[in-house]
Structures are given as C-alpha cells and as structure tokens.
Amino acid sequence: MDGSMLLLTAWVRGIKAKPWRVLTAAAIGGIYVTLMLFPPLSMLFTVIVKAAISLIIIAVAFGYADTRSFARLVGTFYAVNFVAAGAVLGIYYFLMQGSGKVWRTMTLLRHGVAFEVQMGGVYAFSFLCIGLYVFRSVVSARRQKELVLTHLAEVSVIIGGKEHRCTGLVDTGNQLYDPLSRTPVMVMEASLWEDEIPPGWMQGIRDSQVDRLIAGLGQEEFPWQDRLRLVPYRGINKGTQFMLAVKPDTVVIVREGQRSESSKVLIGLDGGKLAADGSYRAIIHPSLVEHRAG
C-alpha cells in the first residue's frame, strides 16, 4: 500500500522514481505499522512521530533536492493518501444498509464517539478499483501535460515600441486567418496589454462586444486605432463572431532553440484565460513556426 501511494505521488509530480528507493521506503512504512502490535511502543504513534516517519519515507523514496520541491512532494503524498482513504470510507458507508449497522460501528464514550471500521473483501476490492482508476487518471493527465509541453514556445510581440513576452501553445488546429488579407491570426490574452488598452476597450473585449468598439472609434483615445482589425470566426455553438485584432510590428517565436520571426501576422485579443493553470497565454498559428530564421 505504501509503495502504491509513493508511485502515485511520483506520477503526480512527474518524477521517475527508482524502484529500489520506493521499495526501501515502503518497507520502512511496513515495519513502522508492525510496531502497532507491541503496546509498550505506543508512544511511537503520536502525531509528531507519524509525521516524522512520513517525511523519512518520502526522503528515502525521492531524495531531498531543495525545501520547495520536498514540500510539494509531502503535500502530494498526503493528498493522494487522503483522497484514497476518503474514497474507501465513503464507499464503506455508502454500501452500509440499515441504521443498526451504522450504530454497531459506533461506541459512545464519556467525551465523544469512537468509530470502528471493519474492512471486508468488498472494500479491499473497492480500494483496488479506486487505486486503478486514480492511477489511470494520473497517467492520462501526465500524458496530456507532456503533449502540451512539447508544443510550447516563447513568444515576443512588439507593438509601437512596447514589447510583451509570454509562453504560447502551437496549435496545429488553429487555422484562423483574416479573410481579406489571408494573414494568420495568433490569439493572445488581452490582459497582457492591459497597460496599453483603455479600460473601456478592455471591458468590451471581455464582453465580446468588439464590433461596437469599432463603431465607436474616436470616442476614447486609443493609440492603436490605425492597427485595429475585426476578424470573423465561428465560435462553438454561437455562430459567427468577431475578434478584435492588432497589427504588430514584429512577432518572434523561439521553440526548441529555433527562432521564427514574422511581421505578417495579426494578434487576436482574447478577453479570458486561454489556460486555466496559466501554462500558456497565447495560441500560436502553426504557419508562424514553419519558416525559421537562424
């Protein structure tokens, strides 16, 4: 059990654990549990000792590189254990039928109530199913994350002497072009340009009312007025919509040590977040990385 939790922790953190280290750490955890059979050693089961043993187990399994990385490993290890234990306990009470069985798991004490959980074969099987499901989910999430990481690149956009940098995702499915000039459109979070975009325009971009902004040009001073474009696109289940785009001076993309530079591109401004975790803030048109400059 300790070994499986350590392996799940390694998958969540993206660490390639060494089998002999995981086996040694799991053995330490197993030996510690057997000490419960000896009443004179009950002092070893205080919260402080339990926490210390868990730190030792994690250190043996993964080593100690720095405080931040080790703290993340500890947090992940506890999270994996709590989720698994909570799921098993939930299934245990979910399958329990009748209030009589519930009361038989409770003992009234002077200062509270003690709960007794007796795990049978069905609960052990349930735990195994939960473990397999979590393992499969973690593996799938890791593969998706690795796939995204292989398509990330560093983006630098220069507009009117202002330069902004961010991480972008090369999306091979992005075929957004300006229909008039056939210029590729790279989507970027508008919040990156919040210092240059007037508040009224930012609100209009967030509310997807950019056509009204163009219709009201001149009412609010905007230094990019001669660079603005309206790019039509088809949203999911929303029909044709418009995206406000800006003509930049230059866009530089660096991916896997290769540098691409282009001036024939439009920057589409998105009012939301392109990635929930903030791992990228731009969606790069694939044509922008086809021609690379050394």
- What is the chain's pLDDT, residue by residue, as a tens digit (294 residues)? 778 788 878 877 777 778 888 888 888 888 887 877 777 777 777 788 888 888 898 888 888 878 888 888 888 888 877 776 666 666 666 655 555 555 555 555 556 655 555 555 555 566 656 666 666 666 666 666 666 666 888 999 998 888 889 988 888 777 788 888 889 999 999 888 888 887 877 888 888 777 677 666 555 566 777 888 888 877 655 567 788 888 999 999 988 788 888 889 999 888 888 887 778 899 888 888 865 444
Strand partners, 181: none
Tell me the C-alpha to C-alpha distance, in Å, between residue 23 and each of 13, 18, 79, 117, 196: 18, 9, 21, 28, 56
Tell me the C-alpha to C-alpha distance, in Å, between residue 110 and each of 59, 68, 107, 218: 40, 43, 10, 77
- Sequence-ordered alpha helix ranges (H) in the chain: 2-13, 19-34, 47-62, 67-95, 99-104, 121-149, 199-206, 210-215
pTM score of the predicted model:
0.51
Q: Give the per-residue pLDDT at 193.
A: 84
Tell me the C-alpha to C-alpha distance, in Å, between residue 260 and each of 71, 90, 107, 153, 253: 39, 53, 70, 10, 5
Tell me the C-alpha to C-alpha distance, in Å, between residue 280 and each of 208, 225, 249: 21, 27, 22
Q: Which residue is it, tokens 């995702």? A: 169
Q: Give the per-residue pLDDT at 294.
A: 40
Give the active site residues. 171
Q: Give the per-residue pLDDT at 293.
A: 43
Q: Give the per-residue pLDDT at 61.
A: 86
For residue 290, give both structure tokens.
């086809």
Q: What structural domains does the chain harbor? A: 2-147 (no CATH), 152-289 (2.40.70)
Tell me the C-alpha to C-alpha distance, in Å, between residue 285 and each of 149, 183, 192, 237: 16, 10, 18, 22
Phi-psi region of 58 (alpha: psi -120 to 50; beta: other; left: phi over 0): alpha
